Amino acid sequence: MTFQPASFEEKAVARAVPQNAASPMTAGKLVRRPDLSDADVLAAIAERLAFEGRDPAHAPGVLKAGLEGRHVAKAFLRKLVLPAPRSNLQMPIQSILRERTADARPSAWSRLVSLGR
């Protein structure tokens, strides 16, 4: 098995997010989006820094400060533009019209109002 060097993004995530069990807070939970990975949040931080004309290389430091609970970093994280959710909706599928069997007679109301049928 050969060792492959980690990409820049993986190194930045490793520096910013503590990997111990004592810290249950993740970058996704920090921005109230637990479906996001640490790399997604780090990319959003770098994008926001670039938008403000600052150096995107400081993104791991901002994430680390946010995980440590610094108020300035948390205020910055509230301004992030995050990607759309990728997880499934938690709401069950509901039918709009009532389903009926083929042998059931239509009701008096449905005979009066056809609703485009």
pLDDT digits (tens, 9 = 90+) for 27-73: 888 998 888 889 999 999 999 999 999 999 999 999 999 999 999 99
Residue boundaries of the structural domains of the chain: 1-85
- Give the per-residue pLDDT at 56: 94
CA angle 30, 28, 23 (to 5 degrees): 65
Task: Measure the CA–CA gap between 35 and 52, rounded to whole angstroms.
Answer: 26
pLDDT exceeds 50 at position 3: no
How high is the pLDDT of residue 10? 61
CA proximity to 34, closest of 43, 25, 42: 25
Whole-model pTM? 0.58
